[in-house]
A and B are shown apart, each in its own frame.
Chain A
């Protein structure tokens, strides 16, 4: 697999670290336990298109949001997630 990092360009998957399901709602700090159980343990594990978080661990260390097909491993879209995501932070 090759991931096209918005910062570094196309790089082999071995440089990246899978972080988790990006479709899971991140609970608020004060959210009830049930919400955290949902966020930490419950996964839909779809066959097909899926949103995922990856980190370019051995590169720019940025967090990326990928739209990826879990069947064919085709990557449809890559964007920065987290602090430098468009609209986040400053």
Chain B
């Protein structure tokens, strides 16, 4: 056992050693230890370097209030930065790293920042980088990034497991200290569904392991019995779970830490679980953090909170020092002093800033044999990496000085209630004179939120327990349950009742550290006030006070107290800065949960997917769908494959899986009237057995989607949409029906998944269909262009529509999804003699670009029919949705874009997204438009593209370029009609 362990029973199990490393050095802790307690027990006091000045920092807090001892666990993809050494239990094989030091913790070259401190003062970032000298950011950024910062996030993918879950309860009690436990007892005894959540791994919070009693029962026994009773009453108890945010609708975000390192047995178990907790009522029993005291070098390792020193001793059998000096402005530290002394630790001196203290405090100091300096102040802590001595002086006679040897200066500046979660709900905390801190006014909360314990202004043990119980009763009453009678608990020890005396700003050094995590000193606060940033929210932004992962947990109240002294404001009139979620850092892994990789979104497969896969087709994701991109033959490149496939469509016949097209059944007596209103072109006259291409606009006149609608019966239409537009079109139709024309008798059902779709295209497509569906007449007379016919088979109805996206003689064959592969294979076998080949999305794209048909690249939500040269489809005879706003003159100005075709002058491929410009690479000039789709055209043997180019630029076309400055590509292009091939449409009229 190391010399910093004391012989005292605690949660640490000395029979079970745990080996871990810190910055590569091996250490031994024990089961029950945290990283902080195990390292302190090993005599390690230096945990990290501070944010700006790279000062040495050690452990200052007991748990989640720790601002200094931030660590990274694990390495590479498994690294989790910015964890508090005080909250993480050690685990066998755990790799722990200190942060913000370079090259090493002991020898930190950047601690030269301490010498450059005047350069890094308040408003440093603003003054240096936001003003006229903005360019200097470029110069200094790499240095600043390395010098100022917390832990680094790994850039590799985290393959560890995380989970998400939803929970519901009558009452969520946040905080498993004595207040929360009492609240849980009252609520559970009333029959409510109770959830009790705490971020520690033991129950009892700050009071766990404390030697006290409650109504005659040892406190630890009361905690144990109460937890058992809660479990028996069916309450859900979650430890190591942090409620990090409170949101609207009674929603609470929480993360449960299930493990800190991956298991070694190869079985993937979740490390963390993200919980969305919806509670009818909530009780904030989040306790309080102890405040630091203010003096020069108050951030030196060895300076820690008084109750933290007590906590390490009570809970982990760790002695924080061998010559302990207590420095306080309130009574609570006397309790800590008593317990430390009774455990056999050497408490040499008690320093109290108050001019006089109660007889109880005096007798306690005598009892533990410590010298008692009342009305004295600590001026400075001495030591380079660790406290060695403290200088003190008498406040009303500063010539009286002493230097006291000490390796642990335990400080208490009073207690600061944890009001963060109430602040998330928008509640402004109010100043409590007796507490010397900000608390939550229960009347300011919505009726389903309650507070108890320190947050509500109670600090001593009995009033926390009684108040917690009362809060549980109140919830039960509001929910109509029968609550138990209130309790009147009493305690043996605890606070005596004299509250903190604030430090006088005049007596403090400028170098006094206020915000330990962000390195904000009293000097920074003074400078900010002088420069006019004296409102709390301004002060925060100007000095970074209260920012970071710490959010001012231990700095706020001290800073506000000094601010009021500097500005002459009344502290009652100060509104503390708003706290924002998350309360502690949350990993992205926990928020994402299992929704990663293939599980990030649902995968949709077409009915013929297995066939494509068996052919070894190269697949491509299109929205949620996976589609064949091309069917590569051995040795073929993608480019060679799609050129072959597209050429075969023009020459023979091809077949393409178009099952992904959105399909909506539009039915009802008013279906025709409805379609006539939502499409820009005339649909009222569409006869049964015919299809029509239609254009649909949004409210603002911009193009929403295009597609064909087939009239299958008197009141029965089948609408097709683009693959990506299906959801938006469905919602658009529903919205117009419900909110504009609820009187129309029409209904919509998405049937996308019900139909398998395949396009059979090419001059030989008719003969393939004729063979596959023998006995059916596919002649031009029987099935003219835009004709739709249905074929009844034993297995179901097959629809064949003569539609062409490729410009060839072509048919779309829709059959029930279950018949998809059968019909697909049928068509392939009957087409073998005709040279049929399947083709994928690349060939589909090449064919449609050659025809100048618009698709996803063009329909980006910013284009009007005029931009797409589809104004011919706007009916002049009827009203259609989007028409009124389409009539705005500005949509037809010279600066409007027009769809054009591009041909690459030097036969080099074009790139979608490139800008169309007038100038050469050296001086491209302003953008005149953009390239929306590109392909190689087998028919033209040219690299072509579609583009949207300003009308005025087209008028003075003097040769243009497609510019992609990011890739350094600048291609000379020729502007042509977007109908590259067969503009009269002869090829489809076979």
Contact = CB atoms under 8 A, between A and B. Distances in A.
A1 B248 contact: yes
Interface stretch (B199-207, B414-422, B609-617, B731-739): B731-739
Contacts of A31: 884
A50 B526 CA distance: 45
B775 interface: no
Given A33-B888, A55-B734, A19 B739 contact: yes
B884 A32 contact: yes
A83 B887 contact: no
A3 B700 CA distance: 29
Interface in A5-57: 12-13, 17, 19, 26-27, 29-33, 35-37, 39-40, 53, 55, 57
A88 B742 contact: yes
A50 B737 CA distance: 23
Contacts of A81: 738-739
Given A19-B739, A30-B879, A63 B734 contact: yes
B278 A83 contact: no
A2 interface: yes
A83 B884 contact: no
Given A26-B739, A33-B885, A61 B251 contact: no
Contacts of A13: 249
Contacts of B249: 1-2, 13, 73
Interface string B872-899: 0000000100001101100000000000
A12 to B, nearest CB: 8
B143 interface: no
A3 to B, nearest CB: 8
Interface string B721-759: 000000000010011011110110000000000000000
B250 interface: yes
B879 A82 contact: no
A77 interface: no
A35 B885 CA distance: 10
Nearest to B166: A12
B699 interface: yes
A39 B885 CA distance: 11
Contact of B742 (A1, A72, A89): A89
Given A17-B731, A57-B731, A63 B888 contact: no
Contact of B737 (A37, A40, A82): A82
Contacts of A29: 677, 879
Contacts of B251: 1-2, 12
Interface string A54-75: 0101000101000000001100
Given A32-B884, A36-B885, A83-B742, A55 B278 contact: no
A2 B248 CA distance: 8
A53 B739 contact: yes
Contacts of A82: 737-739, 742
A27 B741 CA distance: 11
Contacts of A61: 734
Given A36-B885, A55-B734, A63 B739 contact: yes
Nearest to B882: A36
A90 to B, nearest CB: 9
Nearest to A87: B742
A56 to B, nearest CB: 11
Contacts of B738: 63, 81-83
A40 B885 contact: yes
Contacts of A35: 884
B735 A37 contact: no
Interface in B58-89: none
A36 B740 CA distance: 13
A12 B249 CA distance: 9
Nearest to B888: A33
Nearest to A29: B879
A26 B887 CA distance: 18
B731 A37 contact: no
Nearest to B727: A57
Contact of A83 (B276, B699, B737, B888): B737
B534 to A, nearest CB: 28
Nearest to B750: A61
12 contacts: A1-B251, A2-B250, A12-B276, A19-B739, A36-B884, A39-B699, A53-B739, A63-B734, A63-B739, A73-B248, A83-B737, A89-B743
Interface of A: 1-2, 12-13, 17, 19, 26-27, 29-33, 35-37, 39-40, 53, 55, 57, 61, 63, 72-73, 81-83, 85, 88-89
Give the 9 A-B CB pairs with smallest separation, nearest first. A82-B738, A73-B248, A36-B884, A1-B249, A63-B738, A2-B249, A83-B742, A88-B742, A1-B248
Given A33-B888, A36-B885, 4 more contacts: A12-B251, A30-B879, A36-B884, A85-B742
